[in-house]
Amino acid sequence: MLCTALPEVTDNLESTRRSAAVFLGSFSGRYEATSRRHFVARCTNVGDAHGHGNLNVERGALAAEAWVCALTAFELARRLADEGDPQTGDVLAKLEAVISNFGSLEQRVRRVEISSWDEQKLPAYYVSGGGPDLCTAAVICISGEDETGAMLLGRLLPVIASRSMAALILAFDDISASRHGQSEILSSCLDYLSAHPEVDASRIGIYGEGLSAALATDLALADRRLGAAVCDGGLWNWTRTQASISWITGTSHLSDDHLASAHRMRLARRLKCPALVVAGGRSIVSVVEAIKLESDCAAASIDLKVLMPQLAPVSDGEFENFAAYDEGIFAWLEHKLAPTSAS
């Protein structure tokens, strides 16, 4: 039965993430409102058991493992809740409480402000890679347009915590609201990570979700210090340009496949690091265009890969298997940002 695939209280992060991935991979549209509310309650109870049942144990690795398990359970509950469901507010409050507990543990998570060249302050969360003596890889992570920085932090902490990797979590709204160039602001984030004592300045990547994928592309075009980018590969600007031309002219501007390929490749050739393009689901990139770009890049020996999230259709849209999706993204980042001697 599907509900048996829900994460159990084992305080084992790998087991919890695997259970969540199996559950979402098996989810079906036949599980409608009543069942989903039941699953939300079940996941919330699992999160409570992880996040609050361990408050009396010694604050250390066991507590950290339990808290990141709780984050996965609460994120699963948030995804399952219907839009406008009163349970959602309660789940978000629980997510924030667990993040606070985890952050107080050896200062693994803390709020920081990134200063740009014009003294503008950008709020962010810094997730430590584990200790000041580590020379670790780091990733700049930017939320989608419909998520806050705290929501992205809650979702990614379990993935980051299982790796020796640091992260800087930013909100799309904070960057897009800036009066100045967004690439310049993100370059300031690169400056911050490069100067951090635990970060290897040669192993920094960027991950942009939703519209932030286009911001990640812009930085990968502008700054050679990036070692890897999860981005849109320039396809968002390409698609908008094509739509504008077609609307103005009333014709299909690029009916020639060779000419279309050349235009798609224009930005991809300028990327200064390996790229992973996420297509389908909540991504701004279409699957068809992403596959065409990947094929063109393979022919040109450009290091660009495409990832398509597993989706489960439901009556009011579709669910993304975030557990499997996030693991795939960070496994790719971990590989591309591995020390040169190891790779």
Residue 8: pLDDT above 60?
no
pLDDT band at 250 (very low <50, low <70, confident <90, very high): low
Listed residue (315, 305, 308, 306) closest to 281, CA to CA = 308
Compute the half-sphere exposure of residue 77: CA atoms within 13 Å on the CB side of its CA: 30
Residue 71: pLDDT above 80?
yes
How much is the pLDDT for 110?
87
Residue 285: pLDDT above 80?
yes
Q: Residue 46: what residue type?
A: V
Tokens for 193? 């990570």
Q: Residue 276: what residue type?
A: L
pLDDT band at 38 (very low <50, low <70, confident <90, very high): confident
Bridge pairing between strands 165-170 and 304-307? unpaired
Residue 74: pLDDT above 90?
no
How much is the pLDDT for 254?
47
How much is the pLDDT for 190?
95
Listed residue (109, 117, 115, 118) closest to 141, CA to CA = 109
Listed residue (208, 193, 60) closest to 136, CA to CA = 193
Please, what are the domains in the chain?
2-104 (no CATH), 109-308 (3.40.50.1820)
pLDDT band at 244 (very low <50, low <70, confident <90, very high): low
How much is the pLDDT for 57?
43
Q: Which helix (H) or strand (E) holds 169?
A: strand 165-170
> What pairs with residue 166 in β-bridges?
138
Q: Which of 30-39, 150-159, 241-250 has the highest mean pLDDT?
A: 150-159
Q: Which of 4-8, 73-77, 86-90, 240-244 has the highest mean pLDDT?
A: 73-77
State how far the Cα of 58 lies from the Cα of 76, in Å rounded to an integer.
Answer: 27
Least confident of 173-182, 279-288, 308-317, 326-335: 308-317
Average pLDDT over the chain, rounded to whole?
Answer: 80
How many other CB atoms sit within 10 Å of the CB of residue 105?
Answer: 14
Scored b (16 or more CB within 10 A) or e, 58-91 reads eeeeebbbbbbbbbbbbbbbbbbbbeebebbeeb
How much is the pLDDT for 179?
60
State how far the Cα of 340 lies from the Cα of 203, in Å rounded to an integer.
Answer: 9
Q: What is the mean pLDDT of residues 200-207?
A: 96
Asked if 304 and 277 touch (Cβ cutoff 8 Å), the reply is yes
Asked if 71 and 98 touch (Cβ cutoff 8 Å), the reply is yes
> What pairs with residue 121 in β-bridges?
115
Listed residue (268, 273, 274) closest to 289, CA to CA = 268
pLDDT band at 86 (very low <50, low <70, confident <90, very high): confident
State how far the Cα of 31 lies from the Cα of 37, in Å rounded to an integer.
Answer: 10
Q: Which helix (H) or strand (E) holds 304?
A: strand 304-307
How much is the pLDDT for 281?
80
Q: What is the mean pLDDT of residues 280-284?
A: 83
Asked if 160 and 98 touch (Cβ cutoff 8 Å), the reply is no
Q: Residues of the chain with pLDDT > 70: what percent?
A: 76
